[in-house]
Amino acid sequence: MGQAFDKSGAILGEIYANTKHEVFDKLINLHPDAHEIRIRTVDDEFGEAEKRLAGATTKDPRLDRMLADLIVSTLPSNQERTVALRKLLEAKDCAVRAQLERPGG
C-alpha cells in the first residue's frame, strides 16, 4: 500500500499493488506533484499491530475493533476481505459463547 501527500499532509491518493515498486510507479504517475510518498507492506501493518497487542491489556476497549480496522485499512476492498471480516465476526461470536458456557453445563 502506498499513499501520496501534499505539502499540508493531506492524502492525495492511495494505491495497492503487488510490489512496492508498482505502488511507487502508480503513485508517481497519478500524483507527480506529491510532496511525500509513503509505501508500506501488509507485514509492516501487521507488525505494528502485534506491537500494540503485546503492550495492551485485555481490558483495553481499543482492542475490540483493532483487528477489523487493520484488515480494512491494509487490504483492498474485495470479496476475500469481506470473507475475512465475516470470519472474524464468527470467531468473536464463538469466543462470547465459550465465555457464557458454564463448566459441566
AA identity, residue 68? A
DSSP state at residue 102: P
pLDDT tens, residue by residue, 36-82: 998 887 666 666 666 665 655 555 555 556 788 888 888 888 999 89
Which residues on neighbouring strands pair with residue 5, listed in sequence order? Answer: 11, 36
The H or E element that residue 43 is part of is helix 42-55
What is the predicted pLDDT for the residue at 53? 58
Residue 93 grid coordinates = 461470536
Question: Do residues 38 and 2 lie in contact, with contact meaning Cβ atoms separated by under 8 Å?
Answer: yes
Q: How confident is the model at residue 29 (pLDDT cuts 50, 70, 90)?
A: very high
C-alpha to C-alpha distances, 85 to 33, 40, 80, 104, nearest whole angstrom: 36, 21, 9, 32
pLDDT tens, residue by residue, 86-105: 998 888 888 778 777 766 55
What is the predicted pLDDT for the residue at 34? 93
pTM greater than 0.85 (yes/no): no
What is the predicted pLDDT for the residue at 12? 92
